[in-house]
Amino acid sequence: MALTWTAPGPGHWALDRSHMNRSATPIVQDIMTRSAAAGFRRTFRDLGVPADTLQMEFVNGMTYTRLRPLVGADKPAKKLPPLPILKVLVRLHPEMRRRSKTAARTMIARPWRTVVHDWEHGGRAAVEAENLVLQDVALADLSDISLVDHIKRVIDHCVKKIELHFWLHGFDMGPIGVLLSDARSWGLDPVEVIPLLEGASPSTSEPLRLLVGIRRAVDASGHRPATMEALRAVSPAVSADLDAYLRFRGARLFSRYDLDGVTLGEIPDVVVSTVMTAEDRVVGLGLAELTEWARAGCRPSTEPSSTIACKRPVMR
C-alpha cells in the first residue's frame, strides 16, 4: 500500500527525528499534538517570543513541526512581505507590540531564576508524587472497567505534565541560548562553555551519585555481581539503594519515547551494567575551576602555571 505524505496544514513543516525516529503510536500522537502546542504557546507568550507556538502534527505516524506565526498562521504559505512593510507590521500589530515589551522585560527580570527555583524547591517533588500515585496502582487487581479508567487518568496526566514540560523548556533552554549567544561577545567559543553545564542539573547528576554510591559499596564488598539477584545479594544496604534508584528510574522509557518502548526496569542486565560502570565525571580542569575561568572571561590554558589577562563579562 502506497503512503501519501500530505502536509498537516499550511506553512513550512519539518520532519523532526530528535525524539521519535519512527512511527509513533496513536496514543502518543494524540498526547503530543495536544500538549506540545499548548506548552510552547504559553512559554512564547510569557517570555515575549514573536510567534504563536511550535506546532506538532503527525503524518503517517512521523513527527512534523512548524513555528506557527502570530499573523496569517492558517493561510497558505507565501513569501514574506518586503522588509519595510514587515517592520511596520511588527511595530503596529497589537500582539507583536505586546510581545516586544514582554521580551524586553524578560531580559531584565530574568524570570527563569524564579521558575527554576520553584521547580527545584517543590515543583519537581509534586510532579514526582503524582507520578508515583499512578505508578503504584496494582494493575493486576483492577477490573476491566477500572483499568480503562486508570488508563484515561494516565493519559490526562501525561497531557498536563508534558504541556508543563514544554512550558518549562522556555526557562531552561531559553537562558542557555542567551548564555551561548553572550559567550561569543566575551570571546568564548560555545563549545568551551557547554561542558560547564555538565552536572549542573540535579535531574542528571543525582541519579549518577546514587549509582556511584552503589558501585562503591559493591567494590568494597569484593563481589562482582553479573545479575540483578547477585547485585541485591551483596548486602541489604545495596538492595535498598537499588530499590530507591529504580523507584524513580525503573519506569522510565529506555529505548524510545513511546508506549512500545522498553523501560529501564524491564532490562535488569542493563541496570547491573549501569551500576558496575558508574563513575564520577570530572571535566577538564574541574567544574569549579572552569566556571571561574568562564566568569572571568578567560580561556583555560593547557599550562597550569600560565595566567591570562581578561575582561570580566557581564553575566546574565
- The residue written with cell numbers 494516565 in the block is 154
pLDDT digits (tens, 9 = 90+) for 125-155: 999 999 999 999 999 999 999 999 999 999 9
Task: Report residue 213 as a C-alpha cell.
Answer: 554510591
Residue 3 vs residues 13, 21, 62, 66: alpha-carbon distances, Å: 18, 17, 12, 22
Query: 218 near 238, Cβ under 8 Å?
Result: yes
Q: Whose CA is closest to 44, among 100, 5, 124, 85?
A: 100
- The residue written with cell numbers 502536509 in the block is 7
Question: Would you give the DSSP letter of residue 76?
Answer: P
Q: What dihedral do alpha carbons 48, 49, 51, 54 form, nearest 10°?
A: -120
Q: Whose CA is closest to 174, among 107, 101, 261, 87?
A: 107
Neighbours of 32 (CB within 10 A): 23
Burial class of residue 83 in the structure, from the number of CB atoms within 10 Å of its CB (0-12 exposed, 13-18 middle, 19+ buried):
exposed
pLDDT at 302: 45
Query: 122 near 114, Cβ under 8 Å?
Result: no
pLDDT at 305: 42
pLDDT at 289: 56
pLDDT at 209: 85
Q: What is the mean pLDDT of residues 279-306?
A: 51
pLDDT digits (tens, 9 = 90+) for 53-86: 999 999 999 999 999 999 888 887 677 778 888 7
Query: 46 near 170, Cβ under 8 Å?
Result: yes
On whether the pTM is more than 0.85, the answer is no
pLDDT digits (tens, 9 = 90+) for 180-192: 999 988 888 888 8
Strands of the 53-59 sheet, one edge to the other: 14-15, 62-68, 53-59
